[in-house]
Amino acid sequence: MNDVSRRGFIETAGASTAIAALASLSPSLTRAAEHGERADRSTLADGAVHLSGDGLALTPREYATLLQDLTATRDVAEDTYLLGGEVEAFEQRWARLLGKETAVFMPSGTLANQLAVRALAGNKRRVIVPDMSHMYNDTGDACQMLSGLTLLPLASLKATYTRADVEAVVKRTASGRVATDVGALVIESPIRRLSGEMFDWDEAQRVTAFAREHGIGTHLDGARLFIASAYTGIAPAEYAKHFDTVYVSLWKYFNCGIGAVLAGPRRVLDGMFHVRRMFGGNLAVGWPAARVAGHFMEGFEGRLKSAVQVSENFYKEIARHPRVRVERIPNGTNLTRLHITGGDLEVAATRLAQRGILLPRGTPDGTLTLGVNESWNRTTGTLLAAAFTQALA
């Protein structure tokens, strides 16, 4: 390590103290480090800090233990094919949270998105979607094949399409010799394929206002909606009120392994369980997912905001390192790229794992895409920067 980095990071004993404190978060990992062992994801203790992913990456054992604890603290009413019991109470909770009349549990976000636009579009079979959206790129043309919908992608390689874009499409469809009206439009935010970039919120409001004026249904693919809220301060219900329907993922950061929730008006969602069953989405029971997701929902926004602050402190400090460049995603959320020059990332990853810090896989040119999640609350920005500095030495 050169003199600049020593002066900037570890010219005093403070860094050593920080490293020791960080290691103490997980005694089992400290023992592994003493024996020169590289920690493995499947054996890590609860103190691990996951620098990728949206959630806590619970192991099967951790998940089973948590579910046992949650069912021991209060009785859980079983559902039958996702009807009644814990699932019904869970749906009602989501409807209140998002300011909608009702909500429906879905086994996956893919199904939630498709059934929403299928219902909203009705006999108007064209649906506007972002070019980089999950619905357009990652569902194997499910909407086209299974629901007879025609997806119209807008804003090539961008997160945001505009009201003017929508107006142009609506005008063009109205001029066709065969009536092919737009029945629904979708906004995805944040967009996974653009590293968590959000749809411009002001433009989203202009787009949805135009849609309402022209009888076009609106759907928000808000799989990571609560992550967006932690970064913008806009409440999930405030986002949701501008759309007819909204979908939120249950497993990405509420750690329940499966599931999604679709919320909206009764005129759209009443009886949706019949369509869910028709599409093969009727699980025998959903109470385990509802119980675990419900547990992590409580206070989630506050915990993630705290983790975001840890990450901001870390990025500020690690940006001073002469071998590290921090790249922020424009209008982004919990993903940030670190470009690291020199050294061996594999060696650094091993050193960090021994201290309970798990890196994502890097690229050959030394780029890491870090993801902020609740586990960042298990450390501080200063401790994390000190650990990185030592690992890169």
Q: Please give the torsion angle defined by the CA atoms of residues 122, 128, 130 and 133, in that order, rounded to the nearest 10 degrees.
A: 30
Say which range, 24-38, 156-170, 294-308, 375-389, has the weakest mean pLDDT.
24-38
The contacts found for 280-284 with CB under 8 angstroms, 24 or more apart, are 281/106, 281/107, 281/108, 281/111, 282/81, 282/82, 283/81, 283/82, 283/107, 284/80, 284/81
pLDDT digits (tens, 9 = 90+) for 234-254: 999 999 999 999 999 999 999
Classify strands 260-264 and 245-249 as parallel, antiparallel or unpaired. antiparallel
- Assess whether pLDDT exceeds 70 at residue 32: no
46-98 pLDDT, tens digit per residue, is 589 999 999 999 999 999 999 999 999 999 999 999 999 999 999 999 999 99
Q: Is the pLDDT of residue 28 over 80?
A: no
- With 60 as the cut, is the pLDDT of residue 11 above it? no
Q: Domains in the chain, please, with CATH?
A: 3-59+300-392 (3.90.1150.10), 75-297 (3.40.640.10)
Predicted confidence at residue 46, as pLDDT, reads 57
pLDDT of residue 47: 82
Confidence of residue 177 (pLDDT cuts 50, 70, 90): confident
Give the pair of three-digit tokens for residue 162: 């505009």
- 44 against 258, higher pLDDT: 258
| Model confidence at 36: pLDDT above 90 | no
Q: How confident is the model at residue 180 (pLDDT cuts 50, 70, 90)?
A: confident
Task: Flag whether pLDDT at 6 surpasses 70.
Answer: no
Q: How many angstroms separate the Cα of 150 from the Cα of each of 40, 118, 231, 328, 379? A: 45, 11, 33, 35, 48
Residues 191-201: tens digit of each pLDDT: 999 999 999 99
**DSSP per residue over 319-377, as a string?**
TTSTTEEEEEPTT--SEEEEEE-SS-HHHHHHHHHHTTEEPPPPPTTSEEEEE--GGGG
Q: Decide if 51 contacts 58 (C-beta within 8 A).
A: no
